[in-house]
């Protein structure tokens, strides 16, 4: 029973067209996510899922398996679910856990996958997990940052692009979603078959589909500080933060490993 990573990516982002292949220190953002994901030994394989031939060509050039999916998907989770079905149709080994890793997380640290997978490994009732991290105060009004509030067990109560909660003070930490999302394989299939929901569509947040249908989403705080890329300005900021990154020198090792 395998644990695999799937990186959904498409060139047609409304906020930043061509984002997956935008370069950070000469390497497309998608490449950063792939190489860093592949460094974690808990993943038996990592795939890129896309509807774009340009992305497939890049994936082939770095030795990544690319799964061509429908151009009709609006949600990363739906693209991931289709990719997993294709992967399973080509292999005799069933998949137990699928980690959806968004292609706009170039600062991903391999250990974040351990953090995200821990509840699935130790709590049989947990079906899907999201990472979360503290949200910088200056980003509270940024609709590209998905805010989350949780209950005392650590399950999500709600996610929103608006400030959440409305009133904050020094004792209350505002958290953001970090898009490293493991699903149990059977739950991913069930999730993809669910009807899209009003809040999911209004907020454009996949996990609200699970909450609106009554399924809990476990949130896990990551110890790592990362920033996603939603705009060209984000790309500039992340490039500055990654200037002395210690993982990038290992990319060539990963290329030869998978050649």
Sketch the domain layout of the chain as residue ranges: 2-257
Asked whether the beta carbons of 108 and 180 are under 8 A apart, the reply is yes
Tokens of residue 107, six digits: 């600062």
Outline where DSSP puts E strands in the chain.
2-8, 23-24, 27-28, 45-50, 65-68, 95-101, 129-134, 147-150, 156-160, 175-178, 180-184, 218-221
Three-class DSSP category at 244: coil
The span from the first CA to the last CA of the chain, in angstroms, equals 25
Give the pLDDT score at 135.
92
pLDDT at 91: 85
* DSSP structural state of residue 222: -
pTM of the model: 0.94
The span from the CA of 101 to the CA of 99, in Å, is 6
Dist CA 136 CA 118 (whole Å): 26
CA distance 84 to 103: 16
Q: Compute the distance between CA of residue 187 and CA of residue 104 in angstroms, rounded to an integer.
A: 24
Report phi then psi at 161, rounded to 5: -85, -15
Taking alpha carbons only, the member of 152, 60, 48, 151 closest to residue 102 is 48
State which CATH number among 3.30.70.100, 3.90.550.10, 3.90.79.10, 3.40.50.2300 fits the domain covering 2-257. Answer: 3.90.550.10
- Name the nearest CA neighbour of 183 among 42, 64, 81: 81
Mean pLDDT split into 10-residue runs, the chain, 259 residues = 93 86 96 96 96 95 94 93 95 92 96 97 96 90 94 97 80 90 97 96 96 98 94 95 94 67
Cα separation values, 27 from 15, 20, 34, 59, 158, Å: 20, 10, 11, 12, 35
């Amino acid at each position: 029973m395998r644990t695999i990573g799937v990186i959904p990516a498409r060139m047609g982002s409304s906020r930043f067209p061509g984002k997956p292949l935008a370069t950070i220190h000469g390497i497309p953002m998608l490449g950063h996510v792939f190489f860093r994901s592949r460094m974690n030994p808990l993943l038996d394989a990592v795939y890129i899922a896309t509807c774009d031939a340009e992305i497939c060509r890049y994936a082939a050039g770095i030795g990544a398996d690319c799964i061509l999916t429908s151009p009709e998907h609006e949600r990363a989770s739906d693209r991931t679910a289709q990719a997993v079905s294709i992967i399973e149709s080509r292999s005799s080994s069933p998949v137990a856990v699928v980690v959806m890793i968004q292609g706009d997380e170039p600062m991903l640290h391999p250990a974040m996958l351990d953090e995200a997978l821990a509840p699935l490994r130790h709590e049989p009732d947990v079906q899907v997990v999201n990472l979360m991290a503290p949200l910088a105060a200056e980003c509270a009004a940024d609709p590209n940052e998905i805010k989350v509030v949780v209950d005392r067990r650590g399950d999500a109560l709600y996610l929103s692009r608006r400030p959440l909660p409305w009133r904050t003070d020094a004792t209350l930490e505002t958290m953001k979603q970090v898009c490293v999302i493991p699903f149990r394989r059977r739950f991913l299939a069930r999730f993809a078959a669910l009807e899209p929901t009003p809040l999911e569509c209004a907020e454009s947040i996949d996990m609200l589909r699970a909450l609106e249908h009554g399924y809990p989403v476990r949130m896990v705080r990551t110890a790592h500080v990362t920033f996603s890329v939603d705009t060209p300005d984000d790309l500039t900021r992340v490039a500055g933060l990654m200037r002395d990154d210690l993982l990038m020198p290992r990319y060539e090792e990963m290329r030869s490993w998978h050649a």
